[in-house]
Every structure is written in C-alpha cells, then in structure tokens.
Structure 1
C-alpha cells in the first residue's frame, strides 16, 4: 500500500523521536563544535526539531509532486535523496542562526555529520526494521495512530 501523507508525517515524527533523539544524544559530544556541552546539545536538538517541523512542510510538497506520477508514489531511492534539499535548507537556516532557540550558528561540518547520520539512520529503520514491530503499518498507509 502507498503511504498516505498523514502516514508519512506520523512515521517521520515517530522515527525522528525514537531513532533521531537517542542518536543525536549519542553523537553530540563527538561533533566538531566548540563551546559548553549544554549549548552543543541545545543546538543539535534544535536542529532535530527543525527537521521534524520543516519535514511536515516537505511531506506536503512531496505529496503534491507525487500526484503527477502514475503510481502516486516514488522509488525508495527518492526517499533517500530527499535529504539533499532538506539538508540544504536546514543547513542554511542553522548556519545563519535563523532557527528559533539556536544558541548560535552551527558549523557546516557539524551540521553535515549530525544531519547525515540521523537522516540515514531514520531512513534505514523506516525501510526495514520498522516493518517488524509494526506489521499493520504498511497496510494502514503508513499511519501509526
């Protein structure tokens, strides 16, 4: 079954919380950023929240684009490649300190490591392991609730 827009949004938010949150907590001390650890954690979790909030808008845009495809869906690799426009926009906002509650500009290298690691982990879990504990997830259009 093709995931519905609501199902994709629910899945995105769920995976960012369950996979992205702990992964962010683990990699934050390893990122090449100066400053106190509290500011580093604030910055990485603000970026993670930005991925979640902006992701809802992206899902609506993707849904509109998919309406022109015959199957009303796109290949799995397109789901992975969506990290490029999302990363560029969020990286620009984080680098210019335009995200609310961000303690300062985020260095591009640290952003790329954090965003790329979280994005790939969330995408991989969504493509495989997510289907094991949530057997009916794919039959409900990707909705969890």
Structure 2
C-alpha cells in the first residue's frame, strides 16, 4: 500500500514556493529595483509592503479559516493586486495598467498570502486533527510519532 504524501511537510511546494518567491523578489529589489519600484521606494514600502502585504496576509488567513481552497486565495489575490496597483496610481501617479508591475505585485502578494494561509492551516490541522498531526515549525505539520500517550493500548 502506497503512502499518501503529507501536504503539511516542510518541503511542500506550497511552502517552499512562496519563500523562494520572496527571496527572489528581495534579490530583484536590490539588483533591478525598477522591476518592483516605479516612482519611489517609499511608495513601494508603504503601499505594496505595508498595506498590501498586511492585507494579503489577512486574506490568506481568512481563506484558510473558512477551509477554502488555495485556488480561492489566488482569485482574491488577483483582485488585491489590482487594488494595490490602483492605490499606486491614485496616490503616487504611477502607471495604472502596467503588466510588469501588476505581475510583480501579484507575485509579492501571493507569496505573503500563501504564507498566511499556511500559518492558519497548520493551526487548524494540529487542532482539528491533534490525534494525527503535530506542529513542525510555524508553517508545517507532520504525522504524530507512535510514542504519544495512549498509543500503547
């Protein structure tokens, strides 16, 4: 009988991909800042990172709390990336319809939202199925070992 792979493992693509994306965006911000920053670095920090990032984190948490699928999260982040682009346009006169900046905003917000999603999903899996799973870091869970009290029966 073949074992099903644990989606909560620390090496899951749903955890590794957002972390790698954030690392790549951080490198791009240093090497090619024009990919992410259109007008000023302060505007990027305020709108994209602080406002957009916090909203993306909470969006990921909200979708996970409702036991929604990851695809629901993708749809919400597309809308959120459009709202962040509009804020850049309305507040700082950036380009509204810039595909490059929209994609970069989406990648940034999706990575943050995915981490928020995983953070809550780990809490849910270890609380709802505590007899079966235990926490393995802030974003992952694993099967309980056989040494737990009550397993000797």
Comparing both structures, which one devotes a greater share of its residues to helix? Answer: 1
What's the TM-score once normalised by structure 1's chain length? 0.47
Higher relative contact order (CA 8 A, sep 6+): 1
What's the TM-score once normalised by structure 2's chain length? 0.45
Bigger CA radius of gyration: 2
